[in-house]
Amino acid sequence: MKTFIFGFALFLAMVLVAGTSSADNKYVGAKKCGMCHKSATLGAAYTIWEKSPHAHAFEILKGKDAEAVAKKAGVKDPSSDLKCLKCHVTGGGSAAGIDKSEGVGCEECHGAASGFLMIHNKKDEASKAKAKEAGLILSADNGKLCERCHNAQSPNFKGFKFKEMWAKIEHKLPKQ
């Protein structure tokens, strides 16, 4: 009976997820991603992110340098102004369910994960396709996603060299 209940619950969860459009997805937070993506077998993406400036992007807004930049831009509090949060917090600072202290997390590049969290880790192609349909973004290695924030609108922009920067945060899955 327990097996039946578990199986039914799993089936129900899959049906609900399959019926979710990526527009309906909610943010789950980087820590949830880290539950699996800390391991080397899955590319250690969380560990790489944790050590990156992206993980600390929100903290930067609380420093003296940020205050000076904000003052020039006419911003009173960079840690609460959407002009700053749009690039220092996943979801632009206005998305529900985001822990701002996580800075720029996994879902800023890979999409809000509630719809694909439980299906994206399967090795078969059908599951991968379902995960993409449910909102998983597997970014192209061309920098277009990065340039949403790393651009001339940033007050500290000094140019963006995608290949050089990508080498610092690259986190591809190992060959399976």
Structure confidence by residue, pLDDT tens digits, 17-58: 444 456 689 999 999 999 999 988 888 999 999 999 999 999
| Residue 4, pLDDT score | 35
Q: Quick check: 67 pLDDT over 90?
A: yes
Structure confidence by residue, pLDDT tens digits, 105-142: 999 999 999 999 998 877 778 888 999 999 999 877 77
Distance CA 59, CA 88 (A): 9
| Residue 43, pLDDT score | 84
Q: Which residue has the higher pLDDT, 141 or 103?
A: 103
Q: What's the fold here for domain 26-169? A: Flavocytochrome C3; Chain A, domain 2 (1.10.1130)
pTM, two decimal places: 0.81
Q: Quick check: 8 pLDDT over 80?
A: no
Confidence category of residue 9, pLDDT binned at 50, 70, 90? very low
Domain chopping of the chain, boundaries = 26-169
Write out the chain in H/E/C secondary structure. Answer: CHHHHHHHHHHHHHHHHHCCCHHHCCCCCHHHHHHHHCCHHHCCHHHHHHCCHHHHHHHHCCCHHHHHHHHHHCCCCCCCCHHHHHHHCHHHHCCCCCCHHHCCCHHHHHCCCCCCCCCCCCCCHHHHHHHHHCCCCCCCCCCCCHHHCCCCCCCCCCCCCHHHHHHHHCCCCCCC
Q: Quick check: 10 pLDDT over 80?
A: no
| Residue 22, pLDDT score | 61
Mean per-residue pLDDT of the chain: 85
